[in-house]
Structure 1
Amino acid sequence: MVAITDKEFKQLTEYIKVNYGIHLKEEKLMLLTGRLQKVLQQEGFNNFTDYYHHILNDQTGQAVVTLVDKITTNHTFFMREADHFYFFRDRVLPFLANTVQDKDLRIWCAASSTGEEPYTLAMVIDEFFGKDKVFWDTKLLATDISSQVLDIAKKGIYSNEKIAPLPKHWKTNYFKKHDNENSVLIDKIRNEVIYRKFNLMDTTLPFKKKFYTIFCRNVMIYFDYKTKIELVNRLYHHMEYGGYLFIGHSESLTKEFTKFKYIMPAIYRKE
């Protein structure tokens, strides 16, 4: 196993924090080195200094892609924090249905991981609008910094165990058998989600229109205070008035640094 020095750990974690907002404290040293061992072996590096310089000098960008895929935690599942989806169905969608004049819902899943969150929202939307859905632009934007998880999400293939928490009629109406152990989303739902690679640390968000709903859940727990403030302010700026922000239940926003109004745990609104 290739050991990492304090200097190397500081160099690597500072690079990760500056470029991706992820704050890895000293207690994450073993986690970081463990996740990168195979990369160093495959690339033939005997120390983390050479690996660090490889990341800085790699013109292809593949070294950074690999690093991001290794350090990010993509733990998610269908109906995670289910009360959010019920609130979205019972409060947000009726509000949007009655107020959005151009019939463009403009919903963004800012850390989509392997797709369970945006696909759940797509199924909620499909069921809510029913036959009237044809009159609306219901496509969702789903972004993540990891190319690996985006590739998984685009396929829309999930184990039968993973889709078990979903309502029975959803599993019947929105999935078809892929093989004995997996199911695949039907095109009607899979095509509702537009996947893009995006780094939340980018100071300029490349979106022409503002959003009515942003899901940015279980991301800011990895950010330090300053990074969190800056991100929330950008999200606020890119949201329409009356729009909703959903964050993770282990996260919170304080009045001292955000204009978002608290609605209920992990749900905020721009008013």
Structure 2
Amino acid sequence: MANSDGQQTEGLWSLKSLPQMDDKEFIRWQDLLEKRTGMNLPVERKVFLQTSLGIRMREIGCPSYQAYFDMVAKGAKAMVEWTVLVDRLTVQETRFYRDEDAFNLVKDYLCTRPPHALTQKSIEAWSVGCSTGEEPYTLAMIIEEALEAEKLKGYYGVTGTDISIPALAKARAAVYPARKLVTLNQERKDKYFNQLTGNEFAVVPRLKERVCFSRVNVLELKDAPMHGMTVIFCQNLLIYFKRWRRKEILNRLAERLVPGGLLVLGQGEIVDWHNPLLERIPSDNTLAFIRHNERDN
């Protein structure tokens, strides 16, 4: 039984089914997402959008797609609600060491690529679209292990960027459920995590202090402060964008690499992109590029 009329009304509302989203409404949401985030939402993902909006609308008791659109598009609380919605639409389930081939390539690059990447003044890595932080912390593990393998004590730092403020807050907290660690061997679990409870693990302080996080919209990369990066890791992000925008994003990232720097992408995320600054690394299992040491190469 409800404690008040308001709670009873809210409970009844949560059980109501939402109307189907018509084509006109879908196009309005498509345009808003494209304009603000660059995200491309094809008609095939209409059900995904409708479901995601519907869940949030039930949570706050919003009766229609039009009313919710107005809520995120204008008004005093628009940006707060927009932040919540973007988090729902963009944050994906991820894990540590998710793409073993790609991370192994990074480690091999650090240890063997001339000029020796580990002997540089500092190693700077950037995880673009870092979500809740698993990727940048994995990069920190890889760099630390590469330094240890070569018996070096160089400085390194990793920056994780994302558009989702809630995701970045989780990344900064650096506390993860056990399921996020399933792709790590026991040695890495013991070395890089402290167990808090039976199901929660915290990144150890020495690794956590090497990683920082910042909110960056990839539509605004020209204003991002990251420059001279040794490694840029950008996986499972480009799939959200139209082909021309993917190329635009990648060209911006190529400019941010130090000469000799490494750009790692997700397999199949781009197939017809070429940049005169970069040379593709021959590999059947990864999609990665090296920036030329000289412009005329």
Length-normalised TM-score, structure 2: 0.83
Higher relative contact order (CA 8 A, sep 6+): 1
Name the counterpart of 1:236: 254
How far 1:121 sits from its partner (Å)? 1.2
Q: Does structure 1 residue 63 correspond to structure 2 residue 81?
A: yes
The alignment status of 1:132 with 2:152, answered yes or no, reads yes
Contact 2:117 2:123 in 1 (8 A): no
Q: Output the amino acid matched with 2:228.
A: K
1:142 matched to 2:163: no
The answer (yes or no) to whether the contact 2:109–2:117 under 8 Å persists in 1 is no
Q: What is the TM-score of this pair, normalised by structure 1?
A: 0.90
One-letter identity of the residue aligned with 1:270: R
Name the CA shift for 1:256/1:49 in 2 (closer, same or farther; >3 Å): same
- Which residue is equivalent to 2:68? 51
Mean Cα deviation higher: 97-106 or 150-159:
97-106
Question: Which stretch of the first structure deviates more once superposed, 52-61 or 220-229?
Answer: 52-61
Structure 1 residue 256: Cα displacement: 5.0
| Contact 1:218 1:250 survives alignment (8 Å) | no
* 1:152-211 per-position Cα deviation (integer Å, ceiling 9, x unaligned): 222222233332321322111221111012221110111111011111111523216321
- Asked if residue 156 in structure 1 is aligned to residue 165 in structure 2, the reply is no
1:168 to 186, 195, 215: 186
Give 1:202's aligned residue.
220
Larger deviation: 97-106 or 34-43?
A: 97-106
Computing the radius of gyration from Cα coordinates, the structure with the larger value is: 2
Q: Is there any run of 5+ residues in structure 2 with no aligned partner, and where?
A: 1-16, 293-297
The one of 19, 23, 31 aligned to 1:6: 23
RMSD: 2.2
Selected match of 1:26 from 21, 35, 43: 43
1:24-47: CA deviation from partner (whole Å, max 9, x where unpaired):
111211111111113223444322
Identity of aligned residues (%): 26
Shift of 1:94: 4.2
Partner secondary structure for residue 289 of structure 2: strand
Rate the CA distance shift 1:38–1:258 in 2: closer, same or farther, 3 A.
farther
Is the Cα contact below 8 Å between 1:232 and 1:258 reproduced in 2? no
Distance of aligned partners of 1:186 and 1:256 in 2 relative to their CA distance in 1, 3 Å threshold:
closer
Contact 1:78–1:163 (Cα < 8 Å) also in 2: yes
Greater displacement, 56-65 / 113-122:
56-65
Equivalence for 1:268 = 289
CA distance in 2: counterparts of 1:213 and 1:47, whole angstroms: 45
CA contact 2:110–2:143 (8 Å) conserved in 1: no
Instruction: Give the 3-state SS of the residue equivalent to 1:268 in structure 2.
Output: strand
Whether 2:107 is the aligned partner of 1:89: answer yes
Contact between 1:229 and 1:258, CA under 8 Å: does it hold in 2?
A: no
Taking the aligned partners of 1:125 and 1:214, their CA distance within structure 2 comes to 13
Aligned length: 269
Structure 1: any 5+ residue segments left out of the alignment? none
Distance in 1 separating the partners of 2:66 and 2:259: 48
Task: Please list the CA deviations of residues 202-253 of structure 1 after superposition, one character each: whole Å capped at 9, or x if unmatched.
Answer: 1523216321211010111111111111111111122222111111123234
Question: Quick one: distance in 2 between partners of 1:162 and 1:44?
Answer: 32
User: For residue 121 of structure 1, what is the aligned residue in structure 2?
Assistant: 139
CA 1:180–1:259 in structure 2 vs 1: closer, same or farther (change >3 Å)?
A: same
Distance 1:201 1:109 in 2: 16
Q: Trace 1:173-252 onto structure 2 (pairs within 5 A).
A: 173-207=191-225, 209-252=227-270
